Amino acid sequence: MSDTKATLTIDGREGAIELPIYSGSLGPDVVDVGGLTGQGMFTYDPGFVSTAACESQITYIDGGKGILLHRGYPIDQLAEQSDYLETCYLLLYGELPNAAEKERFVGTVHRHTMVNEQIRTFYNGFRRDAHPMAIMCGVVGALSAFYHDSLDISDEQHRQVAAFRLIAKMPTLAAMSYKFSIGAPFMYPDNSLNYAENFLHMMFGNPCEPSQVSPVLARAMDRIFLLHADHEQNASTSTVRLAGSSGANPFACIAAGIAALWGPSHGGANEAVLEMLEEIGDVSRIDEFVARAKDKDDPFRLMGFGHRVYKNFDPRAKVMKQAADEVLEELGIDSDPLLEIAKRLEEIALSDEYFIEKKLYPNVDFYSGIILKAIGIPTSMFTVIFAVGRTVGWIAHWNEMISGSYRIGRPRQLYTGYAQRDFVPLDKR
């Protein structure tokens, strides 16, 4: 922490308020405004555009340069050379594992992939047409009813076990939510398969014949999980931190993160992108939709475009776009009409004054749906896939907070409601 200060002078007030400034290892300095309450003032920052809510060492983003580092490693290097579970280890423990550490970590995850048989009955309480994210909100939160042996958040071992259980069981629960929606039997995990292969096995396998998981699709699935693993203090991660700050158990916190992710402005955008591309339907209609996105009176937005932090390209979108081409080529899909529309839409948008002025670029959600569709994942499952990948990021941030010093998060407000007034009896209204 540096010892430089910001000085705040306020019209009509004597003297000045000195506020400490802290510097991190990368990125902007921060002004500690904690002392303002004592001066009878709050800061005001709806949407937390300029607010650093915590100190963290997990992920660094430079929105201007399109940089994304996980514990210092660039996302494109991890996407190219690492795999999802290795990246999970990195996010959780801060270093890449050696061979023995990786084998132990992967082995432990494999031993937690099954869920209590009672959880299977939870699914029968849902309608078959329930959105899988609705199911995931419910069943992940319900995990806390099954694991009383790992709910003491002050116990590092409990936190460790909960982390393994969540990372390992999310694919199982996700695949179950899909199988339930199509009336197909649940598949048990096959721990002879790697993480992504196991997920595809549980999604598309059936108990009547041996699973055939394409290594190409498994690699693409693993890369999708990896690219969604963590992203600093985004809305769902901040939700997990806030829920965790009250001492809520990790399963409840992750369920809160899933709920926050579901919104179309956040993780729900990948599903909305595919629906948008299908609605556009043909490159000839792109201009019509770009015009709507620019029209202040039209609530339509180009889904998969724009980002609170990236005012340049989203490095994940670049990797995703390249992966989309590779997966389609490896699958022998010469041309995907939706990918053609997506690429043409990107070209048009990036040369349009409105998008240039507002610094709107494709984000992680713009191309991911193309790959997920090529893998055979139904659109309604896209955000569930995002939640599976992001679970490790949520846990890493939750654990970083709980294992350090923290206080319950309790923001204040700018109150613009009524001053005190007396109650009016019914016969006087």
Q: Which residues contact ligand SDX by CB under 6 A?
A: 47, 231, 234, 265-267, 269, 293, 301-309, 358, 360, 363-365
Nearer to ligand SDX, 220 or 261 (CB): 261
CB of 96 to ligand SDX, least distance (A): 22
- State how far the Cα of 209 lies from the Cα of 199, in Å rounded to an integer: 17
Given 3-state DSSP classes, what are the helix, strand and coil percentages for the chain, each rounded to the nearest 5?
55, 5, 40
CB of 14 to ligand SDX, least distance (A): 37
Nearer to ligand SDX, 234 or 249 (CB): 234
**Is-contact 100 94, C-beta < 8 A?**
no
DSSP state of 126: S
Residues annotated as catalytic are 266, 307, 365
Buried/exposed 338-368: b ≥16 CB within 10 Å, e otherwise: bbebbbebbebbeebeebeeeebbbbbbbbb
CB of 178 to ligand SDX, least distance (A): 22
CB of 241 to ligand SDX, least distance (A): 13
Buried/exposed 388-420: b ≥16 CB within 10 Å, e otherwise: bbbbbbbbbbbbbbbeeeeeeeeeeeeeeeeee
- State how far the Cα of 125 lies from the Cα of 159, in Å rounded to an integer: 30
The tokens for 259 are: 């709920």
CB of 330 to ligand SDX, least distance (A): 26
Count the neighbouring beta carbons within 10 Å of the beta carbon of residue 333: 11
SS3 275: helix
Nearer to ligand SDX, 221 or 302 (CB): 302
Nearer to ligand SDX, 205 or 306 (CB): 306
Strand-pairing partners, residue 18, are 7
Nearer to ligand SDX, 223 or 307 (CB): 307
